[in-house]
Amino acid sequence: MAGENGEAVRNKQVIFRDYVSGFPEDTDMEVRESTMKLRLLEGSNGLLVKNLYLSCDPYMRFRMTKPNVPVYVEPFRPGSLITGYGVARVLESGHPNFKKGDLLWGLTGWEECTLITAPETCFKIEHTDVPLSYYTGLLGMPGMTAYAGFFEVCSPKKGETVFISAASGAVGQLVGQLAKLFGCYVVGSAGSKEKVDLLKNKFGFDDAFNYKEEQDLDAALKRCFPEGIDIYFENVGGKMLDAVLLSMKLHGRIAVCGMISQYNLEQPEGIHNLTNFILKRIRMEGFVVSDYYHLYPKFLETVLPHIKEGKIVYVEDTAEGLENAPTALIGLFYGRNIGKQVVVVSHE
Amino acid sequence: MAGENGEAVRNKQVIFRDYVSGFPEDTDMEVRESTMKLRLLEGSNGLLVKNLYLSCDPYMRFRMTKPNVPVYVEPFRPGSLITGYGVARVLESGHPNFKKGDLLWGLTGWEECTLITAPETCFKIEHTDVPLSYYTGLLGMPGMTAYAGFFEVCSPKKGETVFISAASGAVGQLVGQLAKLFGCYVVGSAGSKEKVDLLKNKFGFDDAFNYKEEQDLDAALKRCFPEGIDIYFENVGGKMLDAVLLSMKLHGRIAVCGMISQYNLEQPEGIHNLTNFILKRIRMEGFVVSDYYHLYPKFLETVLPHIKEGKIVYVEDTAEGLENAPTALIGLFYGRNIGKQVVVVSHE
């Protein structure tokens, strides 16, 4: 990369073409050559960064939908850059929290270099003795989501039974390992034999099943939880949620992290078993990680030692290069990723 | 009534015939003449009571369904007495908390006289300067349900917007009045013009609508809540819940007290808008009043002065005589009752 003195340099970008209804496709995005000046304007408190790793996250589907009023997630703008979480290195800083050479994670652009205009929303990376890409997953937004969702929303008690859907994904794999370390009985569902094997053999879940091979989700859950489910960490919605409601225990809790099975449907599936809320005094709560970022230091303190001792492991699925970013993102909605989906823009 | 010396006396009873699927009918119950001895067995710690008022409550529909495993509500037994909440006078007491002549409310039988075997679950009535029948409604289980559901489950804040379905019912009318006194903006729905008039003109709701006359529940809610709903007190379920989810505000709360529109359907309606849980961080919680009875003294302390000052009013729908009890109970599921449905067994 040239441009050290502020001349315009090449900056490959992933552009959002237009609003999507139904399943998004690779062609809803395009990779374009662009240029940018690698210099901050005088008096700017922004950051010029070089993007290293980008995060593909299911919530990004919300941003592809033509906004209704009121809007709770800022939509992408047709013809404009895709933005999302990523790991980056600071090239030039106008903000007192960061200096040239620092590593950070936070909201950035799907491009080679980005001008970050809200550096206060970024987290400086202090621990570099783990893979940097972990800050798109295990140690970034999805990891923090798992931690806040499990400990703050689910109110777990030792010995309780925990069910996690999309359990081998970026969030699920950590929820399961945190729940095991906390002393819960943990079962996960996923969509392939390979993923189920990961859950049982790599992440140490007590049990797991492939939802695509179960004729009857209710029966599968009753088999795994003969006494019922105390906590459901919801990532998928739809038929799985409906079946889970039948197996919830008295005073069960459901943390709604995502409902990925529903995001691309013109009409979401109907959930029929909600009267169980009354009979079983169920609490269900949707949450968004940004409400919990004040817990990030505590989260790191909890998780980093476990990573270093090998008690928490993490599986990533890596796409190389911005050219492959659209396909990687779309793959989430077909369950093609095995573990956290990362896009490598540059290894250093 | 004879029988003061323990001889067998007439005891009319309402008997549950057999398990029901779909809508229950009057003929699922029958009124029978029976006899009982009006004397406690030696050493009994039970109570012999004369029933005065009986309470018709929607939850009783759960007890008419053939039980699945696990059972969270004890079903009625085919061929046996209907039981439920009521107000009664003690004829003979084997329990230190009660003496002959005391008034109480609690679980009793749908019959003239009942042997209560668990007197510790009954509440002694200390305040008789209000209509005694209020202890089946405003000052009994439904009133306590309104109080606990609103203050303990909904976590209200002054100035918030509150929507209540089945708002003129036994629970709804008190929720609305408590919410108004607390400083909320309150809207209710009900199923007739007469009920809507009650909401607006007697209970002091800010607004109300007849859901049967609205083409589009979503539009009705948007009209009443242009800025959205902070709290939904859920009594009906089904299409109303689905519409409410579209109007909930960020961090909105839903207390699920009942879903009466769903109890008699072979297959409950599907709810489609659950992804709003994520976008709006909604919390929904089912609750059962029995978890909150420890708050009953505080509840009375709060509500009694308001009743005496006329700041809380209550509407009852009264059926005279055990013969009319089955029709009164069934009427709940057609919305025939206007206000709390009470059955008078005896006025004294």
Residue A131 structure tokens: 């893979």
List residues of chain B with CB under 8 Å from any CB of chain A: 62, 70, 72-73, 228, 237, 241, 250, 256-259, 262-263, 267-288, 291
- B285 with B207, same domain: the answer is yes
3-state secondary structure string, B254-300? EEECCCHHHCCCCCCCCECCCCHHHHCCCEEEECCHHHHHHHHHHHH
Of A257, A268, A279, the CB nearest to B272: A268
- A182 with A257, same domain: the answer is yes
Q: How far A175 CA lies from chain B's nearest CA (Å)? A: 18
Q: Quick one: DSSP state of residue A22?
A: S
A71 vs A178, more confident: A178
- A171 with A281, same domain: the answer is yes
Cβ(A133)–Cβ(A127) below 8 Å: no
Residue A346: which of A131, A87, A170 has the closest Cα? A87
- A70 with A197, same domain: the answer is no
Tell me the pairing of strands A229-234 and A248-256: parallel
- Backbone phi, then psi, for B12, in 5-degree steps? -70, 140
Q: Is residue B130's pLDDT more than 80?
A: yes
Mutant choice from B145, B251, B278, B282 vs A, greatest count of A C-beta within 10 A: B278
Residue of A nearest to B287 (CA): A281
Question: Can you tell me which residue has the tokens 């399961």?
Answer: A176
Distance linking the first and last C-alpha atoms of chain B: 12
Q: What is the mean pLDDT of residues A330-334?
A: 95
Residue type, position B133, single letter? S
B15-53: per-residue pLDDT in tens?
Answer: 999 999 999 999 999 999 999 988 898 899 999 999 999
Tell me the pairing of strands B283-286 and B316-320: unpaired
Q: How far A320 CA lies from chain B's nearest CA (Å)? A: 31
- B280 with B150, same domain: the answer is yes
Kindly list the residues from chain A whose CB atom is less than 8 angstroms away from the CB atom of residue B287.
278, 281
Mutant choice from B74, B154, B277 vs A, greatest count of A C-beta within 10 A: B277
Report pLDDT for B67.
84
Cβ(A240)–Cβ(B252) below 8 Å: no
Cβ(A220)–Cβ(A207) below 8 Å: no
* In-domain check, residue A66: yes
* In-domain check, residue A298: no
A303-324: per-residue pLDDT in tens?
Answer: 999 999 999 999 999 999 999 9
The span from the CA of A189 to the CA of A167, in Å, is: 6
Of A279, A283, A288, the CB nearest to B62: A279
Task: Please tell me the total count of domains within chain A.
Answer: 2
Residue B38: which of B30, B29, B47 has the closest Cα? B47
- A98 with A208, same domain: the answer is no
Report pLDDT for B55.
98
Q: Which of A7-16, A186-195, B169-178 has the lowest mean pLDDT?
A: A7-16
The span from the CA of A264 to the CA of B41, in Å, is: 67
**CB within 8 Å: A284 and B285:** yes
- Backbone phi, then psi, for B103, in 5-degree steps? -105, 145
The span from the CA of A255 to the CA of B233, in Å, is: 21
* In-domain check, residue B209: yes
Kindly list the residues from chain A whose CB atom is less than 8 angstroms away from the CB atom of residue B241.
274
Q: Which of A78-87, A111-120, B2-11, B33-42 has the lowest mean pLDDT?
A: B2-11
Q: What is the mean pLDDT of residues A285-295?
A: 96
Task: Kindly report the CATH number assigned to the domain that includes residue B320.
Answer: 3.90.180.10
* In-domain check, residue B303: no
- B211 with B256, same domain: the answer is yes
Report pLDDT for B142.
98
* In-domain check, residue A297: no
Q: What share of chain A is helix, strand, coil (3-state, %, to 5)?
A: 30, 25, 40
Q: What is the mean pLDDT of residues A7-11?
A: 88
pLDDT level of residue B1 (50, 70, 90 thresholds): very low
A103-113: per-residue pLDDT in tens?
Answer: 999 999 999 99
Residue B46: which of B54, B37, B34 has the closest Cα? B37
Report pLDDT for B68.
74
- B173 with B271, same domain: the answer is yes
Across chain B, mean pLDDT equals 95
Report pLDDT for A4.
55
What is the share, in percent, of chain A residues with pLDDT greater than 70?
Answer: 97
B209-243: per-residue pLDDT in tens?
Answer: 999 999 999 999 999 999 999 999 999 999 999 99
- B275 with B219, same domain: the answer is yes
Residue A108: which of A96, A90, A128 has the closest Cα? A90
**CB within 8 Å: A283 and B284:** yes
Kindly list the residues from chain B whose CB atom is less than 8 angstroms away from the CB atom of residue A273.
268
Cα B250 to chain center, whole Å? 30
Question: What is the strand order of the sheet B161-164 is part of?
Answer: A207-210, A185-190, A161-164, A229-234, A248-256, A283-286, B283-286, B248-256, B229-234, B161-164, B185-190, B207-210
- B19 with B123, same domain: the answer is yes
Q: Is residue B191's pLDDT more than 90?
A: yes
Q: Is residue A161's pLDDT more than 70?
A: yes
Of B271, B276, B281, the CB nearest to A271: B271
Query: Alpha-carbon dihedral of residues B63, A250, A275, B216, nearest 10 degrees?
Result: 140
Q: What is the mean pLDDT of residues B121-138?
A: 96
Q: How far A105 CA lies from chain B's nearest CA (Å)? A: 23
Between vectors from CA A94 to CA A90 and to CA A100, what angle results, nearest 5°? 30
Burial (0-12, 13-18, 19+ Cβ within 10 Å), A121: exposed
* In-domain check, residue A305: no
Report pLDDT for A237.
97
Cβ(B46)–Cβ(B85) below 8 Å: no
* In-domain check, residue B252: yes
Task: Kindly report the CATH number assigned to the domain that includes residue A264.
Answer: 3.40.50.720
pLDDT level of residue A213 (50, 70, 90 thresholds): very high
Kindly list the residues from chain A whose CB atom is less than 8 angstroms away from the CB atom of residue B272.
267-271
**CB within 8 Å: A271 and B276:** no
Report pLDDT for A293.
96
Q: What is the mean pLDDT of residues B201-213?
A: 98
The span from the CA of A53 to the CA of A135, in Å, is: 9
Q: Is residue A72's pLDDT more than 80?
A: no
Q: What is the mean pLDDT of residues B146-151?
A: 98
- Domain residues for the domain of A243 are 141-290
B269-327: per-residue pLDDT in tens?
Answer: 999 999 999 989 999 999 999 999 999 999 999 999 999 999 999 999 999 999 999 99
Inter-chain contacts counted by CB atoms under 8 A, chains A and B: 108
Across B15-28, b (16+ Cβ under 10 Å) vs e yields bbbebbeeebeeeb
Report pLDDT for A348.
82
Q: How far A3 CA lies from chain B's nearest CA (Å)? A: 41
The span from the CA of A112 to the CA of A7, in Å, is: 16
What is the share, in percent, of chain B residues with pLDDT greater than 70?
Answer: 97
- A128 with A148, same domain: the answer is no
Report pLDDT for A1.
47
**Three-state DSSP class for A199?**
helix
B89-104: per-residue pLDDT in tens?
Answer: 999 999 999 999 999 9
* In-domain check, residue B310: no
Q: What is the mean pLDDT of residues A202-207?
A: 98
Q: Is residue B69's pLDDT more than 80?
A: no
List residues of chain A with CB under 8 Å from any CB of chain B: 62, 70, 72-73, 228, 237, 241, 250, 256-259, 262-263, 267-288, 291
Q: Is residue B2's pLDDT more than 50?
A: no
**CB within 8 Å: B272 and A269:** yes
Residue of B nearest to A266 (CA): B272
Q: Which of A249, A274, A290 is the last residue of a domain?
A: A290
- B131 with B204, same domain: the answer is no
- Backbone phi, then psi, for B332, in 5-degree steps? -55, -40
